[in-house]
Amino acid sequence: MKDQVKKWLESGTVDIFLGMKMVDGHPLPHAFTLGNISDLEELVPGTVRYPLETFAAELAAENPDARIGLAARECTQRALNVLSLWNQAPTDRIETIKLNCCPSPLKEHAACSYLDPPEAGLFKKHFGIDNAADPEAVARFEPRERFSRWMYEFQKCIKCYGCRNICPVCFCEDCSLEHKDLIGTGQLPPEAPIFHLVRAVHMAGRCIDCGLCEEACPADIPLRLLYRKVNAVVDDLFDYRAGEGEQPPPFNIIGERPSLEPKPMENGSACPQR
């Protein structure tokens, strides 16, 4: 990879290459350029992830001529597809180098920070939801118990917005999670379950199942699992899978445009209905 990046930078295929650089034993996101080409020595593929595509989109917007290279996992590629659909990233100016990641029957060796999540503790298994469970297993709990388990998880939330901030496909200017009429402010945890349901609904047809949100969540809430279910429903109803292909979603759950201001809700309503 180092050689290819070097070639790219020297030949001008790309002006900037985004990857992870090892600093004092920690891989950190870094912009490699001709100016700091010696840094390439420290370029690492590794298992650690960061939504470099978010940086790429920002850099591309700031520098209309720049060509950007990117160390890309499969989820990065899916995210780029979504960003491009919503006109958030000019994919014609973004080159990617594929990294070894998600395992498959053909590819046993895989490298991703998500591969070995810590095993859920007994208490969590008993009262909450195991992050490693699949949506079907969760659906098998009886509804009241299901609700109670989700509420256990949601109530741990410390409203850090880590899930939203790390998400490669969260790009709206005005975030509904900050909309005072939707979600009350000034208290912890944020209103449950509405905070998490609003985010879940807004990920429909967008979430590319990278799991970064769940990795970022300091409260270990099984966010990816929730969004996975949301997208399974989308697949069922609309036959649409986010991040695949070049078609925009055939539906719009969150409104006409993603950054549209949501309409204020009526008092007493607990769920995002529109």
Q: Three-class SS of residue 85?
A: helix
- End-to-end CA, the chain: 48
Mode of pairing for the β-strands spanning 43-44 and 26-32? unpaired
| Secondary structure E strands in 90-237 | 94-98
Q: Which is nearer to another protein, 73 or 149 (CB)?
A: 149
Binders in 189-248 for ligand SF4, by CB under 6 A? 203, 207-213, 216-219, 221, 223-224, 227
Q: How far is the CB of 174 from another protein (least distance, A)?
A: 11
Residue 223 to residue 233: CA distance in whole angstroms: 16
For the bound state, the minimum distance from the C-beta of residue 159 to ligand SF4, rounded and expressed in Å, comes to 5
The residue from 23, 139, 160, 271 that contacts ligand SF4 (CB under 6 A) is 160
Q: Helix, strand, or coil here: 226?
A: helix
If binding is defined by CB under 6 A, does position 101 make contact with ligand SF4?
no
Of 35, 62, 108, 188, the one binding another protein (CB under 8 A) is: 188
Total number of residues that touch another protein (CB under 8 A)? 64
For another protein, the closer of residues 11 and 273 by Cβ is 273
Question: Dihedrals φ, ψ of 124, to 5°?
Answer: -60, -40
Among 189, 249, 255, 262, binds another protein (CB under 8 A): 189
Task: Collapse the DSSP code of 54 into the 3-class scheme (helix H, G, I; strand E, B; otherwise coil) and give the result.
Answer: helix
Q: Which of 27, 69, 128, 162 binds ligand SF4 (CB under 6 A)?
A: 162
Q: How many CB atoms lie within 10 A of CB 261?
A: 12
Q: How far is the CB of 119 from another protein (least distance, A)?
A: 10
Burial 128-163 (b: 16+ CB within 10 A, else e): bbbbeeebeebeeeeeeeeeebbebbbeebeeebbb
Query: Which of the stretches 3-11, 39-47, 163-171, 182-190 binds another protein when contact is defined by CB under 8 A?
Result: 182-190
* Nearest C-alpha neighbor of 166 from the set 55, 21, 60, 68: 55
Partners of 108 in the beta sheet?
none
DSSP designation for 18? E
Measured from the CB atom, the residue of 21 and 73 that comes closer to ligand SF4 is: 73
**Is the Cβ of residue 100 or residue 259 nearer to another protein in the bound state?**
259
Distance of closest approach, residue 191 Cβ to another protein, in angstroms: 8
Could you give phi then psi for residue 256, rounded to 5 degrees?
Answer: -65, -45
Least separation in angstroms between residue 97's CB and ligand SF4 is 21
Among 1, 192, 241, 249, binds another protein (CB under 8 A): 192
From the CB of residue 173, how many other CB atoms can be counted at a distance below 10 Å? 7
Judge whether 168 and 208 are in contact, CB under 8 Å.
yes
The binding site for ligand SF4 (CB under 6 A) comprises 157-163, 166-169, 203, 207-213, 216-219, 221, 223-224, 227
The binding site for another protein (CB under 8 A) comprises 23-26, 120-124, 126-128, 135, 138-139, 141, 143-152, 155-156, 158-160, 178, 180, 184-189, 192-193, 197, 200-201, 204, 218-220, 226, 229-230, 233-234, 236-238, 251, 253, 267-268, 270-273
